[in-house]
């Protein structure tokens, strides 16, 4: 047998030893933050290509950033969607309602009313703009931080809270972790909790719509962290191969629990730049600028609806709060990051823009916030009539075994009988 290469582990000649690079975020708890390395272009400078353009005409945009709202609170440039003041006020109110809802649900979790909650603070513009830019019957395959889309589409807050409390009125019968909504009538796919699985599903839905000669398109969202999943590659490949009418969004909020975006490849290139590798259109947008997000989404939706194919959009934003109620971001990142985020807060930016237009005022804003807080409070009280987690007001016991299959097979029937026997011993006072 021939001798193979000798592996002594000793250095060879003058070659330096190999060195593994493990990414490390710039700032840790207690650090001051310097964002001067971030390239943030002036708003209004980027051209807006025709929606039917060649995919490659968009690729310069994937390394740049579409912005509309400037520091002077004016909307400028070819990407300005030119929305009327009424629409802007509605978008502002929906963002504020989403934040008010998040705040109350977060407190509800801390008060023991449920097990878990996830806020979208700082990322409201992405969901609200997408909901406004799409048709009401376009299909959304969300991740777990697009509650703003449900709220924007008018899904009842009470139903959301029933789901969060897993109570007897929970439309999902107490089966899902809080915030994993499902709302078919609102074009909102059942949230998985497994990451990025919705991405290829959205492409499949869009393919089906094209097969049937429909006019509806699909959209889906992943975080920058889960863009590392194989499902992302599957979705991008299928979207490209079949020219699917789908808008694929990466919400780059910088953090995936405690892992910064470098662990998804952000130190090498932008997430939007991946579009070029698949040969599809790509846009990179200031995710805290609701006008820019709206414009990008509208561009991509028009393109998809005109049979011109898919678009990948990176929304550059910041996760201003923890990953979930189970997370403590002060343990791994500097608190100054959120405070100093150079793209600001999406609600404040739209508020200032409306004020600059003479279409809004501080007084109106404060009144709106009070009204929204009352609205959420009323919905919470209404939902609490149906119970909170773990306080006996559940769906009937047997529903635990339903919907595994369309029909109940014998083995589940036997297990249901076992569970009911156990219940009579464990909780004799149980009433259904």
Binding region for other proteins (CB under 8 A): 139, 141, 171-173, 175-176, 180, 182-184, 189-190, 192, 194, 197, 199-209, 211-212, 218, 230-231, 233-235, 237-238, 241, 403-406, 409-411
How far, CA to CA in Å, does 355 sit from each of 74, 81, 100, 176, 257?
A: 10, 18, 21, 41, 36
Comparing CB distances to other proteins, the nearer of 23 and 156 is: 156
- Least gap, CB of 182 to other proteins (angstroms): 4
Judged by CB, which is closer to other proteins: 78, or 193? 193
Minimum distance of other proteins from residue 283's CB (angstroms): 23
| Pairing between β-strand 281-286 and β-strand 218-223 as defined by DSSP bridges | unpaired
Q: Which is nearer to other proteins, 10 or 411 (CB)?
A: 411
- Residue closer to other proteins by CB (options 133, 169) is 169
Closest CB to other proteins among residues 141, 360: 141
Q: How far, in Å, are 138, 141, 269, 302, 314 from residue 306 at the CA level?
A: 14, 21, 30, 6, 21
Could you tell me if 98 and 122 are in contact, meaning their C-beta atoms sit under 8 angstroms apart?
no
Least distance in angstroms from the C-beta of 264 to other proteins: 18
Phi-psi region of 35 (alpha: psi -120 to 50; beta: other; left: phi over 0): alpha
Least distance between other proteins and beta carbon 217 (Å) = 12
The contacts of residue 360 (CB under 8 Å, 6+ apart) are: 89, 92, 351, 354
Nearer to other proteins, 216 or 319 (CB): 216
Report the C-alpha gap between 231 and 266 in whole angstroms.
18
CA distance 386 to 158: 10
* In the complex, minimum distance from the CB of residue 38 to other proteins, in angstroms, rounded to a whole number: 34
Give the Cα-Cα-Cα angle 317, 322, 324 (nearest 5 degrees). 115
Cβ at position 128, least distance to other proteins in Å: 24
In this structure, the dihedral spanned by the alpha carbons of residues 287, 160, 215 and 208, taken in order and rounded to 10 degrees, is 100
Structure tokens at 25: 């975020």
Nearer to other proteins, 204 or 265 (CB): 204
CB of 209 to other proteins, least distance (A): 6
Q: Which residues are within 8 A (CB) of 189 and not within 5 positions of it... i.e. 6 or more apart? A: 139, 140, 141, 142, 182, 198, 201, 202, 205
């Amino acid at each position: 047998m021939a001798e193979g290469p000798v592996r002594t582990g000793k250095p060879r000649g003058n070659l330096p030893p190999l060195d593994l690079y493990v990414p490390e975020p710039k700032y840790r708890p207690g650090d001051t933050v310097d964002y001067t390395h971030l390239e943030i272009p002036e708003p209004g400078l980027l051209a807006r290509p025709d929606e039917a353009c060649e995919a490659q005409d968009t690729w310069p945009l994937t390394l740049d950033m579409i912005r509309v709202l400037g520091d002077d609170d004016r909307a400028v440039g070819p990407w300005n969607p030119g929305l009327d003041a009424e629409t802007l006020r509605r978008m502002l109110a929906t963002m504020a309602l989403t934040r008010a809802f998040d705040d109350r649900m977060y407190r509800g979790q801390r008060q023991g009313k449920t097990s878990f909650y996830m806020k979208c603070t700082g990322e409201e513009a992405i969901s609200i703009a997408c909901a406004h830019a799409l048709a009401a019957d376009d299909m959304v395959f969300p991740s777990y931080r697009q509650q703003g889309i449900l709220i924007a589409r008018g899904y009842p807050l009470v139903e959301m809270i029933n789901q969060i409390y897993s109570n007897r009125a929970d439309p999902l019968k107490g089966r899902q972790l809080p915030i994993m909504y499902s709302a078919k009538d609102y074009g909102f796919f059942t949230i998985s909790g497994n990451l990025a699985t919705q991405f290829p599903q959205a492409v499949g839905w869009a393919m089906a719509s094209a097969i049937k000669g429909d006019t509806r398109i699909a959209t889906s969202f992943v975080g920058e962290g889960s863009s590392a999943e194989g499902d992302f590659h599957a979705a991008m490949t299928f979207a490209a191969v079949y020219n699917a009418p789908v808008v694929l969004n990466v919400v780059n909020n910088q953090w995936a629990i405690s892992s910064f975006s470098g662990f998804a490849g952000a130190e090498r290139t932008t997430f939007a730049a991946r579009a070029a590798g698949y040969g599809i259109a790509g846009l990179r947008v200031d995710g805290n600028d609701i006008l820019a997000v709206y414009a990008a989404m509208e561009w991509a939706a028009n393109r998809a609806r005109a049979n011109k194919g898919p678009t990948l959009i990176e929304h550059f934003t910041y996760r201003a709060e923890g990953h979930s109620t189970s997370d403590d971001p002060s343990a791994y990142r500097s608190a100054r990051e959120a405070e100093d985020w150079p793209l600001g807060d999406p609600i404040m930016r739209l508020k200032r823009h409306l004020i600059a237009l003479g279409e809004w005022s501080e007084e109106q804003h404060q009144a709106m916030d009070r009204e929204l807080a009352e609205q959420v409070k009323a919905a919470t009280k209404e939902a609490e009539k149906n119970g909170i987690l773990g306080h006996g007001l559940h769906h009937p016991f047997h529903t635990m075994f339903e919907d595994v299959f369309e029909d109940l097979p014998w083995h589940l029937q036997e297990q249901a009988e076992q569970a009911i026997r156990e219940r009579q011993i464990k909780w004799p006072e149980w009433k259904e």
